[in-house]
């Protein structure tokens, strides 16, 4: 990238369109999508923008410098995926397939695992944001129970209940 400021129209998943004055720092491939990590005039911290949601883009003549302390890995270090948010403590009970497979595959530095007498695995971690974690938990179905935080537990429970309603009446 040539370190030129761009002005772009970005469509959020909700369909809402926002204009940004944006300094693109790094391109990232994540889950089969390309993102640009950079600084926006709309946010205090660097953000990820999905390339396929950029509807209009104009390169301005304005140059920018990448901050000396910029570290793209730092952005995801204590997150679960590329999205981050408010720091939270998460506690999960893993059973069945999740108890067998997750300890082999989960390598975030804040994760702590312990095994119960019944063979379940308790997972505790400090993470920045839980939205991507929630999607991952939902993919395990009944094999992961959220113990805390309460708002994550409520979200996962509501999603499971909504999914179950699709099958009621069969």
One-character DSSP codes across 126-151: EEE--HHHHHHHHHTGGGEEEEE-HH
State the pLDDT at residue 79. 60
Query: What class is the 4-65 domain?
Result: mainly beta
Residue ranges of domains in the chain: 4-65, 87-167
Query: Tell me, what's the pLDDT at 77?
Result: 63
50 and 35 in contact (C-beta within 8 Å)?
yes
pLDDT the model gives residue 89: 92
Looking up tokens 């309460």 gives: 150
**Mean pLDDT over the full length of the chain:** 89
The CATH code of domain 87-167 reads 3.30.70
Per-residue model confidence (pLDDT) at position 74: 73
């Amino acid at each position: 990238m040539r370190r030129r400021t761009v002005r772009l129209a970005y469509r959020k998943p909700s369909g809402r369109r926002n204009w940004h004055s944006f300094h693109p720092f790094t391109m990232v491939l994540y889950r089969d999508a390309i993102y640009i990590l950079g600084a926006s005039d709309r946010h205090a911290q660097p953000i990820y923008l999905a390339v396929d949601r950029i509807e209009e883009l104009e390169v301005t003549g304005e140059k920018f410098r990448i901050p000396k302390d910029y570290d793209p890995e730092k952005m995801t270090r204590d997150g679960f995926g590329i999205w981050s948010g408010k720091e939270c403590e998460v506690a999960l009970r893993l059973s069945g397939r999740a108890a067998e497979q997750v300890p082999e595959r989960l390598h975030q530095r804040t994760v702590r695992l312990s095994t119960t007498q019944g063979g379940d695995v308790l997972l505790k971690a400090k993470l920045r944001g839980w939205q991507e974690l929630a999607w991952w938990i939902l993919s395990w179905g009944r094999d992961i129970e959220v113990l805390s935080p309460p708002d994550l537990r409520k979200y996962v429970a509501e999603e499971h209940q909504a999914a179950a309603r699709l099958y009621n009446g069969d």
